[in-house]
Amino acid sequence: MINKAVIHAFCGVLAASLAALQAPLYAQEIFQSERHNFQVIKVAGGLDHPWSLAFLPDGRMMVTERRGRLRLIENGKLVRKAVAGLPNNITSDGQGGLLDIVVHPNFAANRLVYLSYAGKRSGRVGTEVVRAVFTGDRLTNATVIFRALPKSSGGSHFGSRLLISDDGFVYITLGDRAERTSAQDLNDHRGSVIRLRVDGSVPRDNPFTANNEARPEIFTLGNRNVQGIALQPGSGLVWMHEHGPRGGDEINIVKAGANYGWPVVSYGINYDGSTISKQPTHPGVEPPVYYWVPSIAPSGMAFYDGDKFPNWRGNMLVGALKDRLLVRLEIEGRKIVHEERLLRRKLDRIRDVRQGPDGFIYLLNDSSRGGIYRLEPAD
């Protein structure tokens, strides 16, 4: 006969465990910042190296796992069954895998989602972007709207973040795939930011469409490995950040036809300590708005314009992999005037930062035991 006391005790433990998923992460710990105090709430766990987060109008969340799965969070719980219908050539070699996800601004009507990933073809790998319809628990009508060419070997520097701007363009950030000179070659997608229409066609006003020796999708060049891009509310400006080598992580404003200098110039040095450039500026190169030496390895970017943290409104939030922290940046015009570092080594490597439709801030940590975490004010 089953012992009722044992059952009662087990149920109590189970209830406490489920409650902990929506409980403050550090036993009521209040984190202090210069402008707001806050708590960290664990929304969901059980994720394998989560990379990107998107919110659906019905309250569900979609999360990419770098190993190649797309997951759903429903009513605060991770749905066990992964979303079906992803491309079958996703490879998680090195830094690659299933990467970013964004939903179309008119998702409620068209159900369109966009995903970037490292795609392998004929033994070589490059960043690709697929557009698909999400219905029920699967993707259908999947169409690849972009492939970075040429593909190459190795598992480094894929980018890749996606942004759909208010004027209906898709921005795709790409890394140089550790082949530096590609970032200065207009006949090579690697080391650039791409701009397309939402259907995948090339806008006629892209800066290099009249150059027969350039790939018309290219919008900027000289980028090393961009892993953050966001639209600034009110200004219409698109900002991005990218990994430097040893030092020299940069924040830039995306400008049509701009050359951001890699590998001609950098505020960083090579990993072996050798010099990249004697001067960090060069004629014809767009200087960074802001940079970090030493590197923080930034990943994920969001502007905050919600009502839950009014004293952070207008600030930029950036996750960091190397120093395992969240960076808050204050902006005046086109300048970053103040930096604050939060949550150092509390959540492991912060891979993505998003503002939810509820006005809270959501973070993903890049771990084999990864999760979604929500920042709530505690003033």
Q: Looking at the domain assignment, is residue 167 inside a domain? A: yes
Q: Looking at the domain assignment, is residue 121 inside a domain? A: yes
Asked if the peptide bond before residue 288 counts as cis, ω within 30 degrees of 0, the response is no
Closest among 200, 203, 179, 202 to 191, alpha carbons compared: 179
| Domains: count for the chain | 1
Closest among 102, 124, 120, 222 to 172, alpha carbons compared: 102
Our answer to whether residue 282 is catalytic in this structure is no
User: What is the model's pLDDT at position 7?
Assistant: 39
Radius of gyration of the chain (CA): 21
pTM of the model: 0.91
Tens-digit pLDDT string for the chain (379 aa): 444 443 344 344 334 344 444 445 554 689 999 999 999 999 999 999 999 999 999 999 999 999 999 999 998 899 999 999 999 999 998 999 999 999 999 999 999 999 999 999 999 999 999 999 999 889 999 999 999 999 999 899 999 999 999 999 999 999 999 999 999 999 999 999 999 999 999 999 999 999 999 999 999 999 999 999 999 999 999 999 999 999 999 999 999 999 999 999 999 999 989 999 888 889 999 999 999 999 999 999 999 999 999 999 999 999 999 989 999 999 999 999 999 999 999 998 999 999 999 999 999 999 999 999 999 999 7
Instruction: Tell me how far apart the alpha carbons of residues 259 and 238 are, in angstroms, rounded to a whole number.
Output: 15
Q: Looking at the domain assignment, is residue 20 inside a domain? A: no
Residue 92: how many other CB atoms lie within 10 Å: 17
Phi first, then psi: give them for residue 19, nearest 5 degrees: -65, -30
Q: Looking at the domain assignment, is residue 303 inside a domain? A: yes
Q: Looking at the domain assignment, is residue 260 inside a domain? A: yes
CB 222 within 8 A of CB 262: yes
Phi first, then psi: give them for residue 107, nearest 5 degrees: -55, -40
User: What is the model's pLDDT at position 244?
Assistant: 94
Q: Looking at the domain assignment, is residue 233 inside a domain? A: yes
Amino acid at 15: A
Structure token pair of residue 214: 């350039």
User: What is the model's pLDDT at position 136?
Assistant: 85
Burial class (CB within 10 angstroms; exposed 0-12, middle 13-18, buried 19+) of 378 = middle
Domain containing 331 equals 28-377
Instruction: Tell me how far apart the alpha carbons of residues 48 and 134 are, in angstroms, rounded to a whole number.
Output: 22
Q: What is the CATH number of the domain that holds 89?
A: 2.120.10.30
In whole angstroms, what separates CA 4 from the centre of its chain? Answer: 49
User: What is the model's pLDDT at position 19?
Assistant: 41
Q: Looking at the domain assignment, is residue 355 inside a domain? A: yes
Instruction: Tell me how far apart the alpha carbons of residues 62 and 259 are, in angstroms, rounded to a whole number.
Output: 34
Neighbouring-strand partners of residue 340: 328
Q: Looking at the domain assignment, is residue 134 inside a domain? A: yes
Distances, alpha carbon 216 to alpha carbons 19, 117, 171, 201, 219, in Å: 52, 21, 13, 10, 8
Q: Which of 36, 49, 104, 157 is labelled catalytic? A: 157
Enumerate residues 6+ apart whose C-beta is below 8 A from 51.
64, 65, 66, 97, 98, 99, 100, 351, 352, 364, 366
What letter would DSSP give residue 175?
B
